[in-house]
Structure formats: C-alpha cells, structure tokens
C-alpha cells in the first residue's frame, strides 16, 4: 500500500481504524478530564456503534486495524525492543521494560494500548492514587490525530496533550516497520533542535487539493507546528503551494480541531459551522504562498471560503445545524455535526443524530442513506449519486469526535477537478 493523499474527497482506497476496547472504560469521573473526556463512555454501546462504521468501511475499501499492525511490528525483534524502550523512557516507567519485552506480541500490543495496572508491591504504590503504571490510550480510536498522510509522506503528530503522546510513537513504528506500508515518515521531534511549543494534530490538517493545505491553529496545533509544515514544503521546491491557516477558539472544547467546524464534502460543497466561518469574528484566516523554496506572500484573507474560492475551489457552504437557529447549530456542532468523512467525491459519512445538519445536506442535493443499507447490500455505493451516509451515534459523539476523527486515510484516488 503506497501512501498517497492528494485530497480530502478522492475515492478511498485504504484507511486505518482502531476499534475502541477496554482502554476507553479504564477511567473514572475523577480522571476523565485528564483523559480528555467530558464524560465516561459505555463501551458496549460505543463498540456497537463503531462496528457499524468499520463494517461500512470494510464494504467499500481496504481497512487496517491499529492493533493488528502493532502486533506485526512487535513480531520483529529489531523493531520491538526499540519501540518498548522508547515508550518506557518517554513515560518514565523503565522498570516495566523487561517485563514488557518478555510478553508475546499479542499480549504486549494489548498492554501498550490498554495500559499496565500498577502492582501494589511497596508502600508508595499502595498509597498512590494512580491505578496504572502505563496509562491506557483512551483516545486512540480517534486515529486521525497521531499521524496524517500528506501527499506521499506520513507526518507524525506531535500531540498537544502528553496523555496522547504514545499514540504518535506507535503510529510512527507502524509506518516505519509494518509490512503493508511503503511510506516515508516525517517527525518534527527528529529535528536537531525541535521547538518545544510545536504541536500538530491530524484533526487540524486538511489536504484540500494537491497544492492547498488547510490547517487549523487552535488548542491542539500551534503556530510553531504549522511553521514546521511550512519549512517542510519549502524544502521540497517542486511547485507552488498554498497554506490556509484558520484560527480557532480555544473554548469550548468542541472546537478542538478544524474538522469540528469545517470539512470538505465534494468538489463543489463543504460543511461549515456558520457562526465561526460565515460571520464576522476575531479569528483570522491567513494565506501563505510558498514558491521556489521560500514564502513569497503571507496575508490575511476575508475568510476561509473566500480564500478557497480565490484559489479555484468555489465551494457552496452547507451549514452544520441548518441556516437559522444558533442554538441548534451549537448543539449539533458539539456532537460532531460538522465532522464528515468522504468515501468518494460527494459521498460522505456523518452522524444520523444531527438531524438538522442532515436536513441541510438533503436541501443541498445529498440523499440521506442509512449506513446499514450499504452494509447489507440493499444499496451500492457505486450506484449512488451525491449522498450522506448516516451512522448511529449516541456514545461515540460523547467521546468528542465524528467519522473523520475516527479514520486515518492512507490512500485515495486522484480527483478530476
């Protein structure tokens, strides 16, 4: 599987998923906020809902599971030892290293994802309020953030919150060592003097076209992280590149990433959270032009939709929560109403619960199709026109993400613009 992502909407040819497991439940109300949750999920319901997404994607494309890929890496001694050492060193638990290395790959992969319970074998540990020596990866089913495919490279995420850093370490090992992939990885921490303020997460990075990146600058992706991407594009010197940077509020937490307020649906349509992107606000849109290995222009634009239009992407905005009612818009944006994932141009996936958003999609020419119709074969994706495929979702949205958050595409077909 050669990595190639030149758009957000090209027909999907490969995607990485991670089915949520016990790591999602390994928290309490007291530590949920530290785990980046506002509530505790019911795992059995969340798994049922996630299975619908996985079944849909298995029907239309090649899918890979993080756990299977990690096991394949751990089966190689030359990759296993450095990975375990890296994790234990990064998380200050080198005392676990020998025990972890002695485990078979299947059990080890489980421990690296689900966590290692702290043994109560001394007074300090007995009195500690920490349950885990190696904490669970509560957020790993949001595979979008820890690694992102941009053209033919994999940019390894530098996570803003330390509780998610191990996700990036695992994803880098997967792309460097897992047999299915042929990819070059880029990690900003591999620089000689990495900027400690530089963070980049995949929910903020959208490949709009092969010459246009749209990047959110907010609580999870810093200006320093975007500067790293700028420097990477400058070094390529192969063609003109545009970066559109959209500033985001740091509160509320539903604005965590750009794809919570803006996603691409088709050659002609995009999904937007109207109060932020279509109304005057203090949040800037910055256009950066890179030519011949240097930044030749950096300026403020009127807005993201206008900036894309000036670059030849004339997109009709579809409003999350509908056109009129601010309360409805805010409620549906909170439940990932703007977070759509494209299977092909004009064929996207989102939550059925956001009924006003789906009505607005239908008003803009998207047929509303339940995911089970595709899974059971009652409808064929190839036979559909422009459509919004709906997922059941009561628990998963409470985790803070939608279909785009839970998918890490690695290959798409080119789009005929």
Domains annotated on the chain, with CATH = 12-412 (3.75.10.10)
From residue 312, how far is each of 133, 204, 376 by CA, in Å? 52, 22, 39
Comparing C-alpha atoms, which of 213, 218, 208 is closest to residue 255? 218
N-term to C-term CA, the chain: 24
Please state whether 292 falls in left (phi above 0), alpha (psi between -120 and 50) or beta: left
Q: What is the dihedral of CA 83, 84, 87, 92, to 10 degrees?
A: -150
287 beta partners:
244, 299
Q: Is the peptide bond before 256 cis (omega within 30 degrees of 0)?
A: no
Reported pTM? 0.94
Are the C-beta atoms of 368 and 348 separated by less than 8 Å? no
Tens of each residue's pLDDT in the chain, 417 residues = 899 999 999 999 999 999 999 998 876 666 655 555 556 788 899 999 999 999 999 999 999 999 999 999 999 999 999 999 999 999 999 999 999 999 999 999 999 999 998 888 888 878 888 888 999 999 999 999 999 999 999 999 999 999 999 999 999 999 999 989 988 999 999 988 999 999 999 999 999 999 999 999 999 999 999 999 999 999 887 789 999 999 999 888 789 999 999 999 999 999 999 999 999 889 999 999 999 999 999 999 999 999 999 999 999 999 999 998 999 999 999 999 999 999 999 999 999 999 999 999 999 999 999 999 999 999 999 999 999 999 998 888 888 899 999 999 999 999 998
Q: How far apart are CA 318 and CA 161, in angstroms?
A: 32
Are the C-beta atoms of 245 and 217 separated by less than 8 Å? yes
Q: How far apart are CA 404 and CA 144, in angstroms?
A: 7
Are the C-beta atoms of 314 and 303 separated by less than 8 Å? no
Are the C-beta atoms of 26 and 110 separated by less than 8 Å? no
From residue 416, how far is each of 4, 23, 43, 228 by CA, in Å? 15, 41, 41, 30
Concatenate the DSSP letters of all residues of 77-108 into one string. Answer: HHHHHHHHHHHHHHTT-GGGHHHHHTS-HHHH
DSSP 187: E
Q: How big is the chain by its Cα radius of gyration, in Å?
A: 21
């Amino acid at each position: 599987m050669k990595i190639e992502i030149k758009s957000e909407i090209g027909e999907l040819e490969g995607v990485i998923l991670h089915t949520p497991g016990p790591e999602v439940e390994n928290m309490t109300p007291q530590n949920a906020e530290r785990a980046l949750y506002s509530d505790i999920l019911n795992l059995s319901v969340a798994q049922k809902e996630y299975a619908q997404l996985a079944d849909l994607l298995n029907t239309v494309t090649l899918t890979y599971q993080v756990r299977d890929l990690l096991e394949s890496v751990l089966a190689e001694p030359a990759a296993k030892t450095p990975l375990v050492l890296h994790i234990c060193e990064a998380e200050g638990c080198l005392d676990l290293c020998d025990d972890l290395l002695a485990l078979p790959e299947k059990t080890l992969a489980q421990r690296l994802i689900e966590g290692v319970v702290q043994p109560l074998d001394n007074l300090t540990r007995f009195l500690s309020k920490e349950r885990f020596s190696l904490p669970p990866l509560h957020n790993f089913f949001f595979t979008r953030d820890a690694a992102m495919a941009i053209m033919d490279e994999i940019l390894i995420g530098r996570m803003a919150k330390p509780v998610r850093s191990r996700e990036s370490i695992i994803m880098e090992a997967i792309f460097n060592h897992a047999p299915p992939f042929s990819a070059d990885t880029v990690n900003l921490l591999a620089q000689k003097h990495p900027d400690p303020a530089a963070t980049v997460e995949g929910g903020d990075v959208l490949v709009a076209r092969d010459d246009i990146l749209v990047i959110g600058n907010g609580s999870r992706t810093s200006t320093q992280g975007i500067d790293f991407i700028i420097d990477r594009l400058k070094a390529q010197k192969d063609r003109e590149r545009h970066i559109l940077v959209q500033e985001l509020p740091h509160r509320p937490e539903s604005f965590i990433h750009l794809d919570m307020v803006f996603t691409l649906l088709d050659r002609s349509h995009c999904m937007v959270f109207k109060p932020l992107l279509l109304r005057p606000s203090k949040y800037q849109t910055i256009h950066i032009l890179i030519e011949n290995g240097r930044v030749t222009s950096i300026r403020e634009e009127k807005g993201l939709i206008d900036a894309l239009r000036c670059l030849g992407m004339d997109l009709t905005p579809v409003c999350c929560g509908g056109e009129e009612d601010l309360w409805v818009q805010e409620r549906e944006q909170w439940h990932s109403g703007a977070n759509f994932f494209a299977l092909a141009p004009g064929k996207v996936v989102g939550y059925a619960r956001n009924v006003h958003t789906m009505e607005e999609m239908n008003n803009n020419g998207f047929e509303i199709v339940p995911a089970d119709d595709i899974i059971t074969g009652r409808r064929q994706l190839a036979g559909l026109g422009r459509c919004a495929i709906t997922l059941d979702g009561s628990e998963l949205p409470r985790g803070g993400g939608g279909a785009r958050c839970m998918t890490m595409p690695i290959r798409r077909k080119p789009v005929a613009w």
